[in-house]
């Protein structure tokens, strides 16, 4: 006797196919970009609601900690706050007021590099795949080429120029093909002058007539005016074109 041919195997193939499609949809570039946008909006809302910069300035260090441990914890909190769009000048002033000019500068620079690294990683993992195909305009292509081909030099110039928003530079660099090493090294070196000025001003705020306070605030004012003038001139040139 002949045995009947086996029929089609009925199994969990439809369910497996649905799971694969859902996984692909969740891992698509636009889904990851949406997740990044949601994270950034949530971080901004939390900053507006809780104002963590006040906690760092008024309620630090926690549990009566002091010395290197407090500096390390402040640097970690600084990095997280920077990634969440807390203005760096406020954090730099707080670092100087709490730890003095030397330890405050160490904490502020470490927090700056940490916060930049967090933003760069988020932008690279969640935003690069979706945003790179949109780099079609002449200015966008030129900026992308500059960051990708001359990463360290370009980022160093951005950090030294106080008119470029810190968070915007982080995410623009993340969308480009710049490597981690030049990005972080240029951030550490280029952030020293402006960060030091704010930290020194914060450490000498109790004596506003001291030479250190006057020099640091003068540096902040002059660089701010220069940045405003350059930005104003570039804006008018773009309008003229």
Is 4 a domain residue? no
Is 22 a domain residue? no
pLDDT value at residue 177: 86
Quick one: three-class SS letters along the chain? CCCCCCCCCCCCHHHHHHHHHHHHHHCCHHHHHHHHHHHHHHHHHHHHHHCHHHHHHHCCCHHHCCCHHHHHHHHHHHHHHHHCCCCHHHHHHHHHHHHHHHHHHHHHHHHHHHHHHHHHHHHHHHCHHHHHHHCCCHHHHHHHHHHHHCHHHHHHHHHHCCCCCHHHHHHHHHHCCCCHHHHHHHHHHHCHHHHHHHHHHHHCCCCCCCHHHHHHHHHHHHHHHHHHHHHHHHHHHHHHC
Is 2 a domain residue? no
pLDDT means per 10 residues, the chain with 241 residues, are: 55 57 61 80 77 63 70 91 87 91 95 94 81 66 81 90 85 88 95 95 89 90 83 62 53
Is 1 a domain residue? no
pLDDT value at residue 174: 86
pLDDT value at residue 199: 95
Question: pTM for the full model?
Answer: 0.77
pLDDT value at residue 96: 92
pLDDT value at residue 172: 85
Is 233 a domain residue? yes
Give the residue numbers spanning the domain of 45: 30-240
pLDDT value at residue 176: 86
Is 24 a domain residue? no
pLDDT value at residue 137: 62
Number of domains in the chain: 1
Is 55 a domain residue? yes
């Amino acid at each position: 006797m002949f045995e009947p041919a086996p029929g089609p195997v009925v199994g969990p193939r439809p369910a497996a196919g649905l799971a694969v499609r859902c996984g692909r949809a969740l891992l698509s570039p636009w889904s990851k970009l949406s997740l990044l946008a949601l994270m950034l909006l949530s971080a901004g809302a939390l900053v507006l609601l809780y104002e963590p910069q006040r906690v760092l300035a008024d309620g630090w260090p926690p549990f009566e900690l002091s010395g290197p441990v407090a500096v390390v914890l402040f640097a970690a909190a600084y990095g997280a706050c920077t990634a969440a769009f807390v203005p760096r000048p406020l954090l730099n002033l707080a670092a100087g007021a709490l730890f003095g000019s030397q330890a405050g500068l160490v904490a502020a620079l470490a927090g700056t590099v940490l916060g930049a690294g967090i933003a760069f990683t988020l932008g690279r993992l969640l935003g690069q795949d979706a945003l790179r195909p949109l780099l079609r305009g002449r200015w966008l292509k030129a900026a992308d080429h500059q960051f990708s081909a001359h990463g360290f030099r370009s980022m160093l110039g951005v950090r030294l120029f106080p008119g470029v928003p810190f968070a915007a530079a982080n995410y623009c660099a993340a969308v480009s093909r710049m490597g981690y090493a030049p990005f972080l090294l240029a951030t550490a070196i280029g952030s020293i002058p402006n960060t030091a000025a704010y930290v020194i001003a914060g450490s000498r705020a109790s004596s506003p007539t001291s030479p250190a306070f006057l020099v640091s605030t003068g540096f902040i004012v002059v660089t701010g005016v220069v940045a405003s003038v350059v930005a104003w001139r570039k804006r008018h040139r773009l309008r003229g074109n």
